[in-house]
Structure 1
Amino acid sequence: MKAKHDTIFIAFSSQKGGIGKSTFTTLIASEFHYRLGYNVAIFDTDFPQHSLTKMRERDFKMVMKNEALKKLAYQQFTTINKKAYDIIQHKSENVLEAAQKYIDNSSVPIDVIFFDLPGTVNTPGILKALAGMHHIFTPITADRLIMESTLIFSQILKDVIMKKGETSIKTVNLFWNQVDGRESTYLYDIYNGIIEQLGLDLMKNSIKNSAGFRKESEDYSKVIFRSTLLPPDIRLMKNCRLDLFLNEFLKIIEL
């Protein structure tokens, strides 16, 4: 069942850590909220790391001591005339109810809630939370262990959760992340064939390997890529093809 105000629930989800779930959650949420004009929130349920809550704290400190970023942030918030999106810590259990309560109590209509979920289906409440998503996006890399784990996870979503009928899931979307131009295209062709045989959906646009995904911005940075307070720099988005990915992402969720 869709939430009030037709809020869309989205999760970047995978069974493997370090694959980019929190990074993509941040990038897309910040692009939506600060540049595209949507109202978003994030529920950070990735216990015990709570990496997005910690990222917000780091981002605030960095902006306050970096004059270039402070100026960017001031211009942004005076232009869009709204505050930074909320990042709410919550356990996986009952997170859907907590999100609905947040929507009901919000002074503005919430367009999208992103959920940063734990990386294991053994976490209490995780399967119910996944079943409550409208769209699930799963980053993959050309690594055998990651692929095996992801394909099993995706099939559980598609063949178990979605076929039971008690689910809000409309789409489950795999996408290639950290694609290195030096890697064998033959290897990708093999994996693409397996994904197709399993009946799983693979996004057309992949994310090119980029240093921006692997490191935090420096204190002296004049541009920013991954931040909970500012949208990703447009040039850096183009460098890794995040701009093309975003266009496809918007078509899938039909926002």
Structure 2
Amino acid sequence: MNTKNQPLFIAFSSQKGGVGKSTFTTLLASLLHYRMGYNVAVFDADFPQHSLMKMKTRDLAMVMENQHLKKMAYKQFSTINKKAYPILQYKAENILGAAQKFIETSYIPIDVIFFDLPGTVNTPGILKSLAGMHYIFSPITADRLVMESTLVFTQLLQDVIMKKGETSLKSIHLFWNQVDGRESTPLYTIYNDLIHHLGLNLMESQIKNSTRFRKEGEENTKTVFRSTLLPADESLLRACRLDLFVNEFLKIIQL
């Protein structure tokens, strides 16, 4: 893959915990790096959890203990002829400078850097970090508190930071996550109308609710979903409509 001189900076961001930002960071990073041929790096600034750093440690242990996954990983890395993408740990206030230094010193050209950022505006440096992104994707669920916090924060970014021009942000996109088919369709219609009324971008793709988003790999599993070392199984992607999301995501960022 040819890369641009400046990699894309992308964050899955939310002001509400538990909506999937770390999961989507991992899913997209692994798909782009291991299956689509791009060179990816991830910066974990979600202090103090640093869940992606912990996830990488768990994933490595699971691959080493599961013979099927070990064979999958060996075949994958032999075929793509590159290492696992790096996950680097920094605080939000230092992350843009650290990312730029990483780009300048990397011996391979980087196409995309994903940032896992803290979910609160009270974190030092968080607004500056978000303003340094090229694209922000915000998962939303049909929950009043999630919607209120996400809409207020997205409006802040779009109407204040982006309009001032002191930002690298090209666009911010909301998308529905954990969509349950049993929920009332009019509820989503009301929320969709509100989002459009506020002039915010809403992706067409909707991610179906799945236990896979909250589940680590079983001991003897032969497929993976959320992993920092292997891309998600294609059948699992289709089951929750993540394949459609990935296609729309790639069109937005124009990679």
What TM-score results when the alignment is normalised by the length of structure 2? 0.98
2: CA distance, partners of 1:190 / 1:119: 25
2:225 is equivalent to residue 186 of structure 1: no
**What's the counterpart of residue 119 of structure 2?**
119
- Aligned letter for 2:14? S
Provide the C-alpha distance between the structure 2 equivalents of 1:221 and 1:179, rounded to a whole number of angstroms: 26
Give a deviation string over 1:98-129, Cα, whole Å, max 9, x none: 10100000111100000000000110000000
Separation of aligned partners in 1, 2:226 and 2:186: 31
- Deviation, 1:6, is 2.4
Alignment: residue pair count:
253
State the identity %: 72
**1:188, distance to aligned residue in structure 2 (A):** 0.1
Task: Describe how 1:172-183 pairs up with structure 2 within 5 A.
Answer: 172-183=172-183
Q: In the alignment, which residue of structure 2 is the partner of 1:219?
A: 219
1:54 is aligned to: 54
Gaps of 5+ in 1: none
Distance 1:218 1:110 in 2: 32
Deviation per residue, 1:140-167 (Å, 9 max, x gap): 0000111011100110110111111110
State the match for 1:15 in structure 2. 15
Whether contact under 8 Å (2:225, 2:236) holds in the other structure is: yes
Q: C-alpha distance in 2, partners of 1:66/1:29?
A: 22
Q: Determine if contact 2:131/2:166 at 8 Å carries over to the other structure.
A: yes
For normalisation by structure 1, the TM-score amounts to 0.98
Aligned to 1:93: 93
Distance in 2 separating the partners of 1:161 and 1:128: 9
Q: What pairs up with 1:34-183 in 2 under 5 angstroms?
A: 34-183=34-183
Q: Which residue of 2 aligns with 1:240?
A: 240
Looking at structure 1, the residues matched to 126 and 118 of structure 2 have their Cα atoms a distance apart, in angstroms, of: 8
Q: How far is the alpha carbon of 1:172 from its aligned partner?
A: 0.2
Q: Secondary structure at the match of 1:195?
A: helix
Runs of 5+ unmatched residues, structure 2: none
**Cα offset, 1:94, TM superposition:** 2.2
In structure 2, what is the Cα distance between the partners aligned to 1:219 and 1:82? Answer: 26
- For 1:127 and 1:89, the matched residues in 2 are separated by 18
- 8 Å Cα contact 1:27-1:226 kept in structure 2: yes
Q: CA RMSD in A?
A: 1.0
**Alpha-carbon distance, 1:211 to partner:** 1.3
Q: Is the 8 A contact 1:4 1:103 kept in 2?
A: no
Residue aligned with 1:229, SS: coil
Q: Which residue of 2 aligns with 1:33?
A: 33
Contact kept, 8 Å, 1:4 with 1:100, in 2: the verdict is: no
Aligned to 1:205, what secondary structure does the other structure show? strand
Q: Indicate if the aligned counterparts of 1:4 and 1:104 stay in contact, CA closer than 8 A.
A: no
Cα distance in 2 between the residues matched to 1:183 and 1:193 = 17
2:169 and 2:103 map into 1 onto residues whose CA distance is 19
Query: CA contact under 8 A between 2:44 and 2:53: conserved in structure 1?
Result: yes
AA partner of residue 180 (structure 1): D
AA in 2 matched with 1:91? K
Deviation at 1:4, TM superposition (A): 7.3
Amino acid in structure 1 at the alignment position of 2:157: L
**Distance in 2 separating the partners of 1:202 and 1:108:** 34
